[in-house]
Amino acid sequence: MSPETHWRTALAEGRLLLQRAEDGSAVFPPRLAAPGSGGPLEWFEASGRGRVYTLSWINRKPPAEPYHVALIDLDEGARLMSRVEGVTPETLAIGMRVEAFVDHDGDAPLLLFRPVED
């Protein structure tokens, strides 16, 4: 199974996988080999906990509500793009603690985050 397929299969089962390189660094998106070194990678299940690194609210034509895009730093070290559910422009902030969950409502399972206490 290709790394991308393996990752998506796990996500459909509600698990967020990352890869770890020999130097201990966490890798995302999934790859065949460690970026930079070409060395082996090992799968592991991420805690799903992380922190908002940066964010942008995107305006749409009213009455459509604005939505946002955020870059999330996972506690294990990888960074990815996602969205934090249940927040407003007033409450969502850089540095906010978040945790991952998998949304099964759309066409494909989607990795999202929600705020969590520190």
Partner 1 sequence: MTDTFPRARTAIAGLATFGIGETPGYSSMELTAQAALLAVADAGLTLADVDALFICQPDDFFAGLSFAEYLGLQPRYTDNNRTGGSAFMSHMAVAAMMLEAGYIDCALIAYGSNQRSNGGKLATKITNNQWDAPYAPIFPLTGYALAAARHMHEYGTTREDLAAVALAARAWAQTNPEAFAKGPLSLEECLAARMISTPISVRDCCLVTDGAAAIVMTRTPRARDLAKPAVPLLGAAAATWWNSIAQAKDVTVTAARESGARAMAMAGVSPSDIRTAQLYDAFTINTILFLEDLGFCAKGEGGRFVSSGAIAPGGSLPVNTNGGGLSCCHPGMYGLFAVIEAARQIRGEAANQLSGVDVALAHGNGGTLSSQATVVLGSVATL
Please report, as ranges, the residues that interact with partner 1 according to CB under 8 A. 29, 53-59, 67, 69, 71, 79-83, 89, 94, 106, 108, 110
Q: Shortest distance, CB of residue 42 to partner 1, whole angstroms?
A: 20
Place of tokens 């790394």: 3
26, 20 Cβ separation under 8 angstroms: yes
At 9, is the secondary structure helix, strand, or coil? helix
To partner 1, the closest distance from the beta carbon of 6 in angstroms equals: 15
Nearer to partner 1 (CB atom), residue 59 or residue 117:
59
Q: How far is the CB of 111 from partner 1 (least distance, A)?
A: 8
| CA-closest candidate to residue 37, choices 53, 47, 48, 24 | 24
